[in-house]
Amino acid sequence: MPKQPTRSKPSTISQPADSRQKIAVFPGTFDPITLGHLDIIERGRKLFDRLIVAIGINPEKEHLFPLEERLTLIKQLIKPFDNVSVETYSGLTVQFVKKHNASAILRGLRNLTDLDYEFRVALTNRKVAAVETVFIMTREEFGFTSSSLIKQIVTLGGDPNQLNELLPAPVIKRLIYYRDNKIGAFAIPPKEPM
């Protein structure tokens, strides 16, 4: 009787369960976090098993909110999402991505200016660190929203309550507190035009 061919058994190399997860990192300063950011988090988390919101530390940048405040706000806002976490980091984003065994960087795109910049960064990250980038187009209502623009509006006297279509309520509440108590960027008087 002919011998039956033997089938090779699947590899049983033990790997931690997390090693097979698709993990993405959504980096930024999130100063402040906007509804546009939350839209990208909400939609991006559905594409990956885990999404890490990574708050980058840039000591050369003047921030509206200190790092701990941004971390606390984001933790509060992502609480409903069971596969989203938040961490802080310094250094290169690609190093943070590799440290967490992430397969991609998640980025939101608002317009062609974003596309030009993000495309160059994504190509560089792929070339020098073999890290892929996944882009999500923002919803139309957030196409003009940026943390920098929001900072400018509120530090130059704009009413944070009028930003309710751009910012989550807890961020507006903290902006009002900072403004009323002249904390951080609100303690610095606006520069007079020359």
How many other C-beta atoms can be found within 10 angstroms of the C-beta atom of residue 121? 14
Structure tokens at 153: 């509006």
CB-based contact 52:25 (threshold 8 Å): yes
- Alpha-carbon distances, residue 76 vs 39, 40, 61, 70 (angstroms): 15, 16, 24, 10
Catalytic residue among 110, 151, 174, 179: 110
Residue from 36, 18, 24, 4 nearest 146 by CA: 36
Clarify whether 147 is annotated catalytic: yes
- Closest Cα to residue 174, out of 141, 145, 142, 151? 151
- The candidate with the shortest Cα–Cα distance to 151, out of 13, 38, 32, is 32
Q: Which residue has the tokens 């546009």?
A: 36
Using H for helix, E for strand and C for coil, what is the string for 66-117?
CHHHHHHHHHHHHCCCCCEEEEEECCCHHHHHHHCCCCEEEEEECCHHHHHH
Distance (Å, whole) CA 180 – CA 12 = 61
Q: Tell me which of 45, 63, 147, 174 is the catalytic residue.
A: 147
- 139 flagged as catalytic: no
Catalytic residue check, 146 = no
Residue of 37, 50, 107, 151 with catalytic role = 37
Enzyme catalytic residues:
37, 61, 110, 147
